[in-house]
Structure 1
Amino acid sequence: MAMPAFAKFLLTISVGSLGGWVMWHFHMPLAWLLGAMIFCGAGALLRMPLAMPKFARPPMTATIGAMLGTSFSPAVFEHFRIWMVSLGGLVFFIAAAASVTYVYFRKVGKFDHPTAFFSAMPGGLVEMVTLGAERGGDERMISLIHAARIFLVVLCLPFLIQSVTGHAISRSGSSYVPLDAIDLRDLGWFVAAVVVGVGIGVALRLPARYLLGPMVVSAGLHLSGITDFLLPSVFLGAAQVIIGSIVGCRFVNTPPALILRVLKLSFGSTVLLLSVSMAFAFMISRITGDQFVGTLLAYSPGGVAEMSLIALSLGIEVPFVVLHHIVRVLLVVAGSAAVFALKYDPFKSE
């Protein structure tokens, strides 16, 4: 008899929480996020009956959005003019990252043109799968490649930051805030930010609506001085477990041999992507004088929620990182369709 959906959900949360606790025990960076991701990914590889229902991500993403809003302050906008330089650089970053990754997938992965093209785009998992399938690409492979990209970028980035900068990342990723730090009034403002923010995001059809809507409302509440609520660390830990479990579960119901092939192939593409990200982050940070780590997070091709969560956990300038990832996804979605329409295949004669 098949396991009920709710039982699979509880099993997945248990596996993710166990992974977070193990990583916490061994003092690994961003323990709850990476532990949940690794353990659920391993569970998928072992064909465990894991599943994260569609209803799980929106409320947790909205919670993360409200958390991100708490980091807004008037000082954030003092550097907005500098941000324009790095935002402009995103166009060149996307072109460079997509080009080298496309060549890699054609030469090493032996993908056909549409599959390689939409697999190489650094952003927009759902959109790239949809566009790729409509244009003759291998829908399953594009989906798995993007899932693996997010998995490997999130997995590698904390260790990359530690090795390059020498800055140790704590296992919780942020300073501890006790559960009793929030009272009923603060809880009310938090719930209001989530509910109203989701409503606004859906009504305005914002990109990453469940993240941006609550973030904007929460930021407005903090910037106006209406409230200065901070969420306890247990909220952040739970968000990391849920998001990590969702990333790991993207490989569920996939043959283990195919998972290993995709991860092996994606490892090479992730090395290329992060190398390009580091090069651009170094150049932009030298030009603007902004911090290298923040720019690297802004240019790293992970998911919007995942990268924003890492920025929040590390105390990096969250609005800077969020804005760059939203713009990156919008540019990739709009630009990929336009470029593919040119019907240029550099390997057509091979």
Structure 2
Amino acid sequence: MRALLDDLRAGLGELAPGRFPYRRFIGALLIGAAGGWLFAWLRLPLPWMLGSMTACTLAALLKAPIAAPTVVRPPMTMVIGVMLGAGFSPAIIGQLPGWLPTLLGLVAFIATCGLACVAYFRRVARLDPVTAYFAGMPGGLVEMVMVGEDKGGDARTIALIHSARILLIVLTLPFVVQTIGGVTLGARAQAGMSVLDTPFVNELWLLVTALVGAVAGRALRLPAAYLLGPMLVSATVHVLGLTDFVPPREVLNVAQLVLGTTIGCRFLGTPPGEILRILWLSIGSTLILLATTVLFAFAVSRVSAHGVVPLMLAYSPGGLAEMSLIALALQIEVAFVAAHHVVRVFLVMVGAGPVFALMRGRAP
């Protein structure tokens, strides 16, 4: 609790007039919102995250007067953590025994993707060990940026690689699904309920799980405490059946907008050539991930009751929301796809740090 209060006092100090660049931050949010709206209008994946990040990255390269101090990130990160935890439910837990073959396959899939991508970023991209490791992990963009930065990696490189991964996978996977499964994707559904349609008690659950999770995360010294703490608390209350709330759509969009804006502003001062180089290298890692996804989907389908297409959606390291929406369009069990993505993110979040520490401890 004391650690959280110290963070709160430090954050309030940064928000003091004269210290916080309010005008530049508002300008960054407006540019990010324009990018998010454009991505949403074009029906691109994770529009408010990737759209705002893309727009602010371009603005940063053009040396626009924008800024997004790190103090604005923790509250938005807490919301994302609560959303990930809400992916669990008593029904999903009850189905886990029947999903044992696919979950074991998921563990092997994570290890295979991690080893292949880390090796690729070390040997081909020539990234430093920390950056290569967290850029190669098949986890979420926000999660790996935060943990990787905490361990001393290049947060901008990690952010750009994971952003490219999500964008490229979500844009190409539907075509792979159509080719292999012989199905056609319909129009995307709108994810989540509006804040106007949710009862006030849902907002209270969001606030309580976020705050309790932040306190627990800091007290337990979890990696990325403001993400993993709320995620664990949210998952607990959902699994126990105390609530089935989901953060409102608008709240999630705002959280993604702010996080995407802060990530985009990280590229202030980064040479355009360096960004293009990283994007080009990301294509190689995305091809590795897609090939591994297809191979594991075919292999696991032989030893489980699930088909190739559901397993491709469940394993593919794209966005949780986007993969769930594709599953919805295909009339595939969304809980199956969402649960595997939540488990994937959870395993990477919990295991990436300790495995990295173990590897570093064995390094000469």
TM-score (ref. length: structure 2)? 0.73
The Cα shift of 1:18 comes to 0.5
- Quote the RMSD (CA, aligned, Å): 3.7
- How far is the alpha carbon of 1:152 from its aligned partner? 0.6
Indicate yes or no: 2:97 matched with 1:81: yes
The answer to whether 1:174 aligns with 2:191 is yes
Distance of 2:265 and 2:53 partners within structure 1? 8
Distance 1:213 1:311, change over 3 A: farther
Number of the residue aligned with 2:340: 320
Match of 1:331 in 2: 351
The unaligned stretches of length 5 or more in structure 1 are 134-138, 345-350
> What is the SS of the residue equivalent to 2:279?
helix
The equivalent position to 1:24 in structure 2, one of 14, 33, 40, is 40
- The superposition leaves residues 44-97 of structure 1 with CA deviations (integer Å, 9 ceiling, x where unpaired) of 332334433222222112223333444433210123235544554456445533
Q: Which residue of 2 aligns with 1:186?
A: 202
Q: Per the alignment, do residues 97 and 28 of structure 1 end up closer, same or farther by CA in structure 2, a change over 3 Å counting?
A: closer
Aligned counterparts of 2:119 and 2:244: Cα–Cα separation in 1? 49
Is 1:172–1:313's contact at 8 Å kept on the other side of the alignment? yes
Whole-Å separation in 1 of the counterparts to 2:83 and 2:131? 36
Give the one of 227, 230, 236 matched to 1:211.
227
Matching residue of 1:348: none
Please name the residue that 1:148 is paired with.
Answer: 160
Matching residue of 1:287: 303
3-state secondary structure, aligned to 1:251: coil
Which residue does 1:347 correspond to in 2? none
Separation in 2, partners of 1:13, 1:228:
31
Q: Pairwise mapping of residues 1-350 of structure 1 onto structure 2 (< 5 A)?
A: 5-89=21-105, 92-102=108-118, 104-105=120-121, 108-109=124-125, 111=126, 114=129, 118=133, 121-122=136-137, 124-125=144-145, 127-128=147-148, 140=154, 143-166=155-178, 168=185, 173-174=190-191, 177-224=193-240, 226-290=242-306, 296=312, 299-300=315-316, 307-310=319-322, 316-317=334-335, 318-339=338-359
Instruction: Tell me, in whole angstroms, the C-alpha distance in 2 between the residues paired with 1:71 and 1:119.
Output: 24
Q: Deviations over 1:231-256 (max 9, x none)?
A: 43222322332233344334333122
Q: Residue 281 of structure 1: CA displacement?
A: 4.1
CA deviation after TM superposition for structure 1 residue 192, in Å: 1.9
* SS in structure 2 of the partner of residue 72 of structure 1: coil
Give the conservation status (yes or no) of the 8 Å contact 2:118–2:132. Answer: yes
1:19 CA drift (Å): 1.0
How far the C-alpha of 1:144 sits from its partner, in A, is 4.2
- Aligned residue pairs: how many? 329
Distance in 1 (CA, whole Å) between partners of 2:164 and 2:207 is: 33
Amino acid at match of 1:22: L
- The SS at the match of 1:38 is helix
Whole-Å separation in 2 of the counterparts to 1:226 and 1:117:
40
Q: Pick closer, same or farther for the CA change 1:35–1:161 going to 2, 3 Å.
A: same
Structure 1 counterpart of 2:191, one-letter code: S
Identity across aligned pairs (percent)? 34
**Aligned partners of 1:94 and 1:332 also within 8 Å:** no
Offset of residue 17 of structure 1? 0.9
2 CA distance for matches of 1:226 and 1:337? 36
Paired residue type of 2:167: L
Q: Secondary structure at the match of 2:196?
A: helix
Code of the aligned partner of 1:199? V
Cα shift at 1:106 = 5.5
CA contact (8 A) 1:121 1:332 kept: no
Q: Per the alignment, do residues 7 and 35 of structure 1 end up closer, same or farther by CA in structure 2, a change over 3 Å counting?
A: same
* Secondary structure class of the residue paired with 1:205: coil
2:89·2:239 contact (CA, 8 Å) conserved in 1?
A: yes
TM-score, normalised relative to structure 1: 0.75
